[in-house]
Amino acid sequence: MKKYVLFLCLLLVVGCGFKKDNQVDTKLSFYYWRTNFQLDSLERSTLKDLEVERLYIRYFDIGLKVDNTIPIRPIQFKDSVPNLEIIPVVYIKNDVLLNGRVDRGLAKKIIDYINQINKHNHIVTDEIQLDCDWSLKSKDSFFELIEQIKKESNWEVSSTIRLHQVKYASKTGIPKVNYGVLMYYNMGTIASDTLNSIYDRNIGKKYIGALADYPLELKYALPIYAWAIHTRENKVLRMISRVRTSDVEKIAAFKKMDSIRYVVEEEGVYFGQLFLVGDQIKVETTTSEQLLEMKQDLQKASGKCPSEIILYDLNSRNIPYYEKEVWKEIIICK
């Protein structure tokens, strides 16, 4: 009898010591997407309190000027970088990669410029992430660029992945990178309607059915940002970043129409822009409940937990709008 009890105890200990094959410890990370790198006290404390180990920093964009590829809006480090693993992110405009325009020396230019930024700011990196919404016409050039960067550097290479690139992977192709990051946002059309273009669960579900069969490891990028859409006579005039409902409701000139839309009753300059009477502003963002919903839908569709969830983006204008508990709950694999 004693041997039987000991055997059961051993099974319990061993069983509790192992997770299911599809369960991993999910890490929480952030994107940093501003031109000047300077963290305030809330941003620094958030990184510390959440035990963040990796920070994905947008270094620069690659664009065209008279058919020459150039870095655009490079980051300026105004502050010391936390003791974290830094992953430079380079956004590449799709037209840079279209047939006939590809700069054969682009890989070396990207590597050299990242090395210059790192050296000047005493940063050491061993990975690069390429952010590009490649198309059928540009995919070959993009995949070639990936191979060139791997060949000319010792870095790991990761790539952002859009929803359509998962659903139609047989057509859009799969990049040969160490892992991809599925950008689970910007799902709808920017318009004056009542829909949320940042996140729409019904739209998302139409694209993630193929996740379980996608052969590349995917980490997930989830949105915690907000913006306002300024419209006039149902036409979109502009996007205004980092504007939330509470900001709009402080201004008496805006009258609430529904949960996310407001109409202007008094002409004036608001959020740095001229608004006429009758103009509308729509505020889009996501809630804590929606973040957990996204994580659950992605986990169910893929059949496994991601190794990392990256929040877009680290900013004290975003962090306070979410309950602290959500940051811990979102990385629990269950």
Residues 124-176 have pLDDT tens digits of: 999 999 999 999 999 999 999 999 999 999 999 999 999 999 999 999 999 99
- Average pLDDT of the chain, as a whole number: 92
pTM, full prediction: 0.92
At 24 the pLDDT is 59
Angle at 200 between CA 196 and CA 203, to 5 degrees: 130
Q: Which two tokens stand for residue 115?
A: 């090395």
Lowest mean pLDDT of 17-31, 91-105, 221-235, name the range.
17-31
Which residue carries 């700069």 as its tokens? Answer: 103
- The predicted pLDDT at position 20 comes to 47
Length of the chain in residues, anyone?
334
Provide the pLDDT for residue 299: 97
What is the rounded distance in angstroms from the CA atom of residue 234 to the CA atom of residue 121?
A: 46
More confident site: 8 or 90 = 90
Whether 289 contacts 202, CB under 8 Å: no
pLDDT at residue 100 tops 90 = no
242-288 confidence digits (pLDDT tens): 999 999 999 999 999 999 999 999 999 999 999 999 999 999 999 99
| Model pLDDT, residue 99 | 63
Q: Are 161 and 182 in contact (CB under 8 A)?
A: yes
- CA nearest 57: which of 24, 41, 42, 79? 79
Q: Give the closest residue to 127 by CA, choosing from 69, 84, 71.
A: 84
Hey, what are 4's tokens? 């039987």
Tokens representing 97 are 């990669």
Sign of CA dihedral 163, 227, 328, 83: positive
Question: What pLDDT is attached to residue 9?
Answer: 43
> What letter represents residue 77's amino acid?
F
**Is 222:314 a contact under the CB 8 Å cutoff?**
no
- Exposed, middle or buried, 24 (CB in 10 Å: 0-12/13-18/19+)? middle
For residue 3, what pLDDT is reported? 47
CA 107/CA 103 separation, integer angstroms = 9
Provide CB contacts within 8 A for 334, sequence distance 6+. none
